[in-house]
Structure 1
Amino acid sequence: MVDVLAWIGLGGVVATAGGGLEQFAVRTGLGVLFGCVMAFGVRPIIARACPDGMPVAGMSVLALGCAAFTELIGLHAIFGALAAGLVMPRGVALDGIEGFTTHIGLPAFFADLGLHIDLRPLLGAGGVAMTASVIGFAVAGKVGATVVTALLQGCDRASAFALAAMMNCRGLTELVVLSVGRSLGLISTEFYGALVVMALCTSAATGPILRRLARASNRS
């Protein structure tokens, strides 16, 4: 649900960026029309034509075509690719595209992410302070809210902190949002680097924290 709201919010930001109210209305209208065509037109056709799933080549062509269209109407290409994925029939052929995206698409995305990060501004005192502040506020917000909510719902402390550790992990959605914000010029290079460092650090810390909490729970 959080990811769905994040995508909706991102769509609104992209539609608003670089234009006035009229441009926002046009982009939003075309985006809604595109979504309806994909959901009620393209998806039933694909389901009838490929009940066991589309071949990888067909999936790739559809994703690239949808990405090109959403880029053309003023939305980011990522929304078209997302829409293509949502209308894909779930079948045996889906395993092929999962392997392709995991072993080729995902590394390419992280490579592009790294190419646009300049860590040099973060090495100074101001950059270090900003990065530490970003990490501190991000962790405090996620962990604090999760622990308090879990305890109020009757969870024990160990379960509450374990849940907080998992909630503190940033997924791909956050990185995609940052990438889109950077490409639109909505996030400065320095702040973008600090946010990416925060996302990577909090995600990398999730596993060790959960293992430590599990060992502490077993000892008690």
Structure 2
Amino acid sequence: MAAAAAAAATDPLPDLLIAVPAVILLCALGARLVRRAGQPPVVGEIAVGLLLGPSFLGWLLPGAQEWLLPASCLPYLGLLIFMFLVGHELRIGSLRAQSSTAAAVSMTSIALPLGLGTLLALGMYDSFAPEGMERLPFVLFIAVAMSTTAFPVMARILVDRGMYRTPLDVPALACAAFDDVTAWCLLAAVVAVSSAGSPMEAVTTALSAVGFALFMVAVVRPVPARLTARAERVSTDGMVLVVLFSGLCLSALATDLIGVHALFGAFLFGAVTPRGSRVIELQTARLRAFAVPVLLPLFFVTTGLRADVGLPAADPVQWLWAGAVLAVAVPAKWGGGTGAARLAGRSWRDAMSIGALMNCRGLTELIVLNVGLGLGVTGQDLFTILVLMALITTAATSPALDRIREGMPEDALEGEEAQVGEPVDGERRPDGVQGTVGARAGGARPAP
């Protein structure tokens, strides 16, 4: 009897059955409230996560946050499915069509924050680097954190504002897609350097990751295509779902064993999964319908549980560093994107709009920050500062875009190019977004 009582006392299931629906409902409420203010729902979900963490709930009721979402229930499964969906939503044809503008804007809006972020990280190292953390991985991580753009959230902002049939749509999404891919590659390099015990191990990890990516393209990519063709002939849709889910898990396991994060494996599997197939689109929609609105909010809450606004609040010097982070993150990203778009021939109105959209960090930044915290590259204090930066830059995107679009004269060319957002090379538009990953990444679209 005593053993049974002890087992019941340590059984997390009862608490979990209360906590999970409570978290999901609170995130849905937060998303609904900020939508009324014209913000992407991800802002409300991040804010709910912060409120449920040590910043507020943990301060009022110490220990309540551990009950709310036990550490054994970290929602990585939803995050893996989300990364698979992000990889699947990349539209190569649209990237090719906008390759010159997208590459220029993306590289500039990454290179400038990388450079300035490196200088900032060198100054922050003594104050924020965890004990035993070497300078190189710390500096690389901060530089990458300064340079990310949330492709799915940005896509959702465009859709919410009815801008997906304007000249701004495809180039902005193509720039963000280039940015996303580059950021994941850079983060993979940071993970390899952080996890490796020596420079040779880091090189080996990087080469193994490249080899695995080539294997996925050359060997694995044809398999789902053949399975899809067979499924459409004999109506075995359920088997496709099993293969997709198993494939993303095995691919995630492979990259985790290689020494880069499991998220990269899920992203790679999504990138090599065939597009345009009725069966594939149906099964990815099923994955999305459950994982993104139900599992992904748990990730936001987990992020909130790890962040503690009380840490910088107790030390005015940390607020100065938080200001320095914003002073680097916003001008570098926004300014770099605007300048490169202008040099690529865009009007000032469109160039500033693209710069504002590239400054949106959103969910992508939170994923990067959680990877860094999990690796021990940052401590909770710097993690909190960077989470606040992600929240502020994401929340600022919509009002900034409204001011730019309303306050600057419209170019005459824009009316003539109103159909620039049409499908490219027969592929579906890159805002994928039409009810897919981008729709939820910025927040849940209300059910019809």
The TM-score bracket by the shorter chain reads: 0.7 to 0.9
Once the two structures are superposed, the pairs formed by residues 27-176 of structure 1 within 5 Å of their partners are 27-51=205-229, 55-90=240-275, 91-92=280-281, 93-123=283-313, 124-152=315-343, 155-176=346-367
Q: Deviations over 1:52-99 (max 9, x none)?
A: 686333322222222222222322111111122122222332222232
Q: Secondary structure at the match of 1:213?
A: helix
Shift of 1:182: 1.4
Q: Secondary structure at the match of 1:118?
A: coil
In the alignment, the residues of structure 1 paired with residue 331 and residue 191 of structure 2 have an alpha-carbon distance, to the nearest angstrom, of 28
In the alignment, the residues of structure 1 paired with residue 255 and residue 223 of structure 2 have an alpha-carbon distance, to the nearest angstrom, of 20
Maintained 8 Å contact 2:349/2:409: no
Q: Which amino acid aligns with 1:97?
A: L
The more displaced of 106-115 and 149-158 is 149-158
| 1:210 maps to 2:401 | yes
In the alignment, the residues of structure 2 paired with residue 122 and residue 84 of structure 1 have an alpha-carbon distance, to the nearest angstrom, of 39
RMSD: 2.5
In the alignment, the residues of structure 2 paired with residue 143 and residue 71 of structure 1 have an alpha-carbon distance, to the nearest angstrom, of 33
Aligned residues: 219
Maintained 8 Å contact 2:373/2:379: yes
In the alignment, the residues of structure 1 paired with residue 185 and residue 363 of structure 2 have an alpha-carbon distance, to the nearest angstrom, of 15
Q: Which amino acid aligns with 1:102?
A: V
The more displaced of 87-96 and 183-192 is 87-96
Distance 1:74 1:156, change over 3 A: closer
Q: Which amino acid aligns with 2:219?
A: G
Q: Which amino acid aligns with 1:188?
A: G
Q: Which amino acid aligns with 1:16?
A: V
Distance 1:94 1:121, change over 3 A: same
Shift of 1:34: 2.1
Q: Which residue number in structure 1 is paired with residue 161 of structure 2?
A: none
Detail structure 1 runs of 4+ shifted over 6 Å in the superposition: none
Q: Which amino acid aligns with 1:7?
A: W
Distance 1:30 1:155, change over 3 A: closer
Shift of 1:207: 0.9
In the alignment, the residues of structure 2 paired with residue 209 and residue 49 of structure 1 have an alpha-carbon distance, to the nearest angstrom, of 46
Q: Which amino acid aligns with 1:27?
A: T
Q: Which residue number in structure 2 is paired with residue 14 of structure 1?
A: 191
Q: Provide TM-score, normalisation by structure 2.
A: 0.45
Q: Secondary structure at the match of 1:208?
A: helix
Q: Which amino acid aligns with 1:110?
A: F
In the alignment, the residues of structure 1 paired with residue 266 and residue 343 of structure 2 have an alpha-carbon distance, to the nearest angstrom, of 40
With a CA cutoff of 8 Å and minimum separation of 6, indicate the structure with the bigger relative contact order.
Answer: 2
Distance 1:60 1:125, change over 3 A: same
Distance 1:59 1:145, change over 3 A: same
Shift of 1:46: 1.5
Maintained 8 Å contact 2:227/2:240: no
Shift of 1:44: 0.7
The more displaced of 175-184 and 164-173 is 164-173
Q: Which amino acid aligns with 2:192?
A: A
Q: Secondary structure at the match of 1:166?
A: helix
Q: Provide TM-score, normalisation by structure 1.
A: 0.85
Q: Secondary structure at the match of 2:221?
A: helix
Q: Secondary structure at the match of 2:360?
A: coil
Percent identity over the alignment is 35
| Structure 1: runs of 5 or more not aligned | none
Distance 1:115 1:55, change over 3 A: farther
Q: Secondary structure at the match of 2:308?
A: coil
In the alignment, the residues of structure 1 paired with residue 217 and residue 346 of structure 2 have an alpha-carbon distance, to the nearest angstrom, of 40
Counterpart of 1:194 (choices 374, 385, 389) is: 385
Distance 1:23 1:129, change over 3 A: same
Distance 1:42 1:214, change over 3 A: same
In the alignment, the residues of structure 2 paired with residue 2 and residue 143 of structure 1 have an alpha-carbon distance, to the nearest angstrom, of 13
Q: Secondary structure at the match of 2:377?
A: coil
Shift of 1:134: 1.0
| Structure 2: runs of 5 or more not aligned | 1-177, 411-448
Q: Which residue number in structure 1 is paired with residue 427 of structure 2?
A: none
Q: Which amino acid aligns with 1:30?
A: S
Distance 1:114 1:50, change over 3 A: same
The more displaced of 67-76 and 158-167 is 158-167
When Rg is computed on C-alpha atoms for both structures, the one with the higher figure is 2
